[in-house]
Amino acid sequence: MTNAALDPKHCLWPAWRVSPRVKAFVTTRGGGVSTGPFDGGTPGAGGLNLGLSTGDDPGAVHENRRRALALTGLPEAAWLSQIHSAQVEDAADVLARRIAGETTRADASVTDQPNVVSVVMTADCMPVLFCDDEGRAVGAAHAGWRGLAAGIVEKTGERVAQLAGVSASRLNVYLGASIGPSAFEVGEDVLDAFVSASLLNERDATAAAFKPIDTPGKYLADIYALARLRLGDIGIDSSRIHGGTHCTVREKERFYSYRRDKTTGRMAAMIWLSE
């Protein structure tokens, strides 16, 4: 078991045209050794649950992490203790703390150093990966609705642009699999949080990302559309934003979903720079 490799078919690969220095992928639920509610989505398929706080067998999770990290060729990644915030950290610092046995509470990390893996975990929230054209810097953000409303994608993008020495308009972005617009039911509190935090000239477009349903005070939210609006605020053109087509809730055989299953695994989005 410990010599098994993760088949790349079990991952999503950003289809962006950037420097070959940039390496990135997003895992799905397949290709690992977890069982039960953490399985691979089809009968008899092992699951690639990467979350240690999910109730899964820790031995299985560590083996799953080994398989995912094997695709990077690196021994460790800058795993975060995610808190649905807008906190962005330096991935090399996160990695150093982790090696020292310490955790980092944040929801994004960035780096301009080679062989440092920025990583975030999700199971309905949106993973957002960033890089510049030349592969000078990269970053990964965990964007649940709270973090997205608080500015996590803008802050991560601005940090990556600063490290790369370019304007944010020169960044490329990949929106990994998250809960889709036909499944993300929210209340007025979520709508109000986004509208009140939006720019005045974007309030109509922000409100339009929420579709009323028959239940009073309830809406279907398009988290991908909301992310694109926020990315546009820092000058990133839609042509540079990729992904944003999957739904973790609807695609049960392929993705873990907390909203759908409650007891479930976690997927990971990883990005790093080669030498």
CATH number of the domain residue 65 falls in: 3.60.140.10
Q: Which helix (H) or strand (E) holds 99?
A: helix 91-99
Is 65 or 4 the better-scoring residue by pLDDT?
A: 65
- Per-residue confidence (pLDDT) for residue 6, from 0 to 100: 95
Helix 223-233 vs helix 152-164: angle between axes, to the nearest 10 degrees? 40
Query: What confidence tens digit (pLDDT) does each residue in 20-65 have?
Result: 999 999 999 999 999 999 999 999 999 999 999 999 999 999 999 9
Q: Does a structural domain hold residue 20?
A: yes
| 194 closest CA partner among 160, 236, 149, 238 | 149
Mean pLDDT of the chain: 97
Query: What confidence tens digit (pLDDT) does each residue in 201-216 have?
Result: 999 999 999 999 999 9
- Measured CA to CA in angstroms, residue 144 lies from 66, 68, 99, 219, 258 at distances of 26, 23, 27, 16, 12
Q: 195 with 203: CB under 8 angstroms?
A: yes
Q: Does a structural domain hold residue 265?
A: yes
Q: Does a structural domain hold residue 35?
A: yes
Q: Does a structural domain hold residue 126?
A: yes
Q: Looking at the predicted structure, is the pLDDT value of residue 3 above 80?
A: no
- Per-residue confidence (pLDDT) for residue 5, from 0 to 100: 85
Cβ-based neighbour number of residue 101 at 10 Å: 6
Q: Does a structural domain hold residue 230?
A: no
Contacts for 228 with CB less than 8 Å, ≥ 6 apart: 238, 241, 244
Question: What is the span of the domain harbouring residue 248?
Answer: 8-178+235-273
Structural domain count of the chain? 1
Q: Does a structural domain hold residue 227?
A: no
pTM over 0.85: yes
Q: Which helix (H) or strand (E) holds 272?
A: strand 267-273
- Per-residue confidence (pLDDT) for residue 1, from 0 to 100: 52
Q: Looking at the predicted structure, is the pLDDT value of residue 2 above 80?
A: no
Contacts for 142 with CB less than 8 Å, ≥ 6 apart: 80, 82, 84, 107, 108, 120, 121, 122, 125, 126, 127, 152
Residue type, 58: P
Q: 217 with 188: CB under 8 angstroms?
A: yes
- Per-residue confidence (pLDDT) for residue 155, from 0 to 100: 98
Q: 149 with 118: CB under 8 angstroms?
A: no
Give me the mean pLDDT over the 116-136 stretch.
Answer: 98
Instruction: Using alpha carbons only, give the angle 11, 139, 120 rounded to the nearest 5 degrees.
Output: 50
* Residues above pLDDT 70, as percent of the chain: 99
Strand spans (E) along 28-152: 30-34, 47, 88-90, 108-111, 118-122, 126-132, 138-143
Q: How far apart are the first and last CA of the chain?
A: 30
Residue 12 and residue 122: Cα distance in Å, rounded? Answer: 14
Residue 268 and residue 176: Cα distance in Å, rounded? Answer: 9
Contacts for 175 with CB less than 8 Å, ≥ 6 apart: 126, 127, 128, 224, 227, 241, 242, 243, 244
Q: Does a structural domain hold residue 200?
A: no
Q: Does a structural domain hold residue 224?
A: no
Q: 183 with 250: CB under 8 angstroms?
A: yes
